[in-house]
Structure 1
């Protein structure tokens, strides 16, 4: 190979590496519009703090600050957090078949009593996201059930007990931040 050919190959390699680096940067910065620009970063379980590893009820470290609702997808748990970052209540939920993407949202609408997308009468509906064309929010079945949804149907209702649904209803007013973490 001539000296000019090897220089050309080296130049092409440098351009290819720069292109791959740029595309990787673009992919990491590509956040869907509904999530906003300040989404919490995904964290692997190995990056959890010692408190999170020892106490599954511990508020996730990467969940923002101030008064907010925090929903952890991996543990199916919710925290209602007051303005001084003090957890007011935490509880387990039954997820829907369509999860929200990790990110920062806000409560967009509420309904006192309606029929859920699965046909179950529900109350204290607090909506905050859309994914795959499905509205996603917290709710409690009027009969108190928290059965897993039919995996064949696209549903967005994250089910709570009636007591937890009542607490969410009182806490999560329109505009309240909802932080979804992995």
Structure 2
């Protein structure tokens, strides 16, 4: 009798375990924090104040349509694309999909449209407006000595250049600055479009 009773207990425990695993599988399938769903909602959940998008938002959209699509004629391959008129940047992978896109605040002078490469990077420095900045990615210095690059104010504020002073800083919010820093290593292509 003990034998059949222990067999029944084992069978009941096995059935309960399988039911529990099945329940968890259904819950996991419907969970909002699955990797695809998490990436797709990352920008919305964090309430990005720069109009930026999370990686899943940008990668999931049609790259040739819409106001946040990678601009046509911006080259090919892995690159940073900066659209002057839209005041927007795209971090584009070798697969031609933007992993991240966000708005920026340009300074008093904009770089001419063209193709450049990241020439230097500095983790922390004081900007020309006296603001502590981080994740500085430089890609061009013109004949007049104006340096063009991306950076983020540590406190998130937009640039505040001295009136009449020509500066080429392109300010990002801190989260976008970190994304740029991680993406745009030395010699990364930077394409500036009108």
Alignment pair present for 1:162 and 2:166? no
CA distances 1:4-44 after superposition (whole Å, capped 9, x unpaired): xxxxxxxxxxxxxxxxxxxxxxxxxxxxxxxxxxxxxxxxx
Counterpart of 1:97 (choices 74, 89, 108) is: 108
Which ranges of structure 1 fall in alignment gaps of 5 or more residues?
1-50
Q: Give distance in 1, aligned partners of 2:159 and 2:126.
A: 15
Q: What is the TM-score with the length of structure 1 in the denominator? A: 0.69
Q: CA deviation at 1:96?
A: 1.2
Determine the structure 2 residue equivalent to 1:106.
117
Which ranges of structure 2 fall in alignment gaps of 5 or more residues?
1-61
Q: CA deviation at 1:149?
A: 3.4
Q: What is the TM-score with the length of structure 2 in the denominator? A: 0.64
CA, structure 1 residues 158+58, in 2 after alignment: closer, same or farther (shift >3 Å)? Answer: same
Q: Which has the larger radius of gyration?
A: 2
CA, structure 1 residues 179+75, in 2 after alignment: closer, same or farther (shift >3 Å)? Answer: same
Alignment pair present for 1:137 and 2:149? yes
Query: Within 5 Å, which residues of 2 pair with 1:1-182?
Result: 55-131=66-142, 132-182=144-194
Q: Give distance in 1, aligned partners of 2:63 and 2:99.
A: 17
Q: CA deviation at 1:75?
A: 0.6
CA, structure 1 residues 53+63, in 2 after alignment: closer, same or farther (shift >3 Å)? Answer: closer
Provide the aligned C-alpha RMSD in A.
1.8
Q: Does the CA-based 8 Å contact 2:79-2:92 persist in structure 1?
A: yes
